[in-house]
């Protein structure tokens, strides 16, 4: 029974890590590249790069973290690793859709809304599972995401200003 419970936990770990990282990293990259270049092609290239490279990186990070705890089976470690990889890869890839459909300005806003919505829903479930205040947890997680978005926007503008 404990094995089944942990396997479920390792899937939740992979899903929550992949979704969180997928939202924050992809939005940061998108907004930074948008404010630096204003190019759809560059933003799509950034999304694809994040979806591939950062999915492998995050999966390896989870893998090594789980191994270092010395309290998980090989199957549990690989389950969290694979779940993190595919969740991040698939979720990060969804941000390509608004960029292909809309003008880049609208696509960035739609992507921020999409990423924030998924983070808010995930945060709600995390808060409920811990008997915590959903509003507090959602606010905390969205605040961090918005700090990343704002920071990368202004860094992109700054780089554009000094390199153009």
| pLDDT at residue number 1 | 40
Print the domain residue range for 12.
2-158
Give me the number of domains the chain comprises: 1
Closest to 45 (Cα-Cα) out of 82, 99, 89, 113: 99
| pLDDT at residue number 106 | 98
| pLDDT at residue number 5 | 54
Residue 69 corresponds to which tokens in the numbers above?
């705890």
Please give the chain's pLDDT, 164 residues, in tens. 444 455 578 888 899 999 999 999 999 999 999 999 999 999 999 999 999 999 999 999 999 999 999 888 898 899 999 999 999 999 999 999 999 999 999 999 999 999 999 999 999 999 998 999 999 999 999 999 999 999 999 999 999 999 87
Report if residue 143 sits inside a domain.
yes
Report if residue 76 sits inside a domain.
yes
Report if residue 92 sits inside a domain.
yes
Report if residue 164 sits inside a domain.
no
Q: How many CB atoms lie within 10 A of CB 25?
A: 20
C-alpha angle 85-62-112 in degrees, rounded to nearest 5: 55
39: alpha, beta or left, given left = phi > 0 and alpha = psi -120 to 50?
beta
Report if residue 95 sits inside a domain.
yes
Report if residue 34 sits inside a domain.
yes
Task: Decide: 141 and 21 in contact? Cβ < 8 Å.
Answer: no
Task: Decide: 14 and 76 in contact? Cβ < 8 Å.
Answer: no
Give the residue carrying structure tokens 């606010």.
139
| Threshold 0.75, pTM exceeds | yes
Distance CA 31, CA 159 (A): 13
């Amino acid at each position: 029974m404990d094995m089944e419970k942990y396997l479920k936990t390792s899937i939740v770990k992979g899903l929550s890590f992949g979704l969180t990282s997928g939202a924050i990293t992809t939005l940061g990259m998108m907004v930074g590249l948008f404010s630096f270049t204003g190019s759809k092609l560059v933003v799509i290239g950034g999304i694809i790069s994040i979806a591939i490279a950062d999915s492998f990186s995050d999966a390896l990070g989870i893998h090594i973290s789980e191994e270092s705890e010395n309290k998980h089976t090989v199957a549990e470690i690989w389950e969290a690793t694979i779940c993190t990889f595919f969740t991040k890869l698939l979720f990060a890839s969804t941000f390509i859709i608004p960029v292909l459909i809309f003008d880049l300005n609208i696509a960035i806003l739609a992507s921020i809304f999409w990423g924030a919505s998924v983070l808010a829903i995930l945060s709600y479930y995390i808060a409920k599972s811990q008997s915590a205040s959903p509003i507090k947890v959602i606010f905390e997680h969205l605040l961090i995401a918005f700090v990343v978005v704002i920071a990368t926007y202004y860094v992109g503008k700054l780089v554009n200003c000094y390199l153009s």
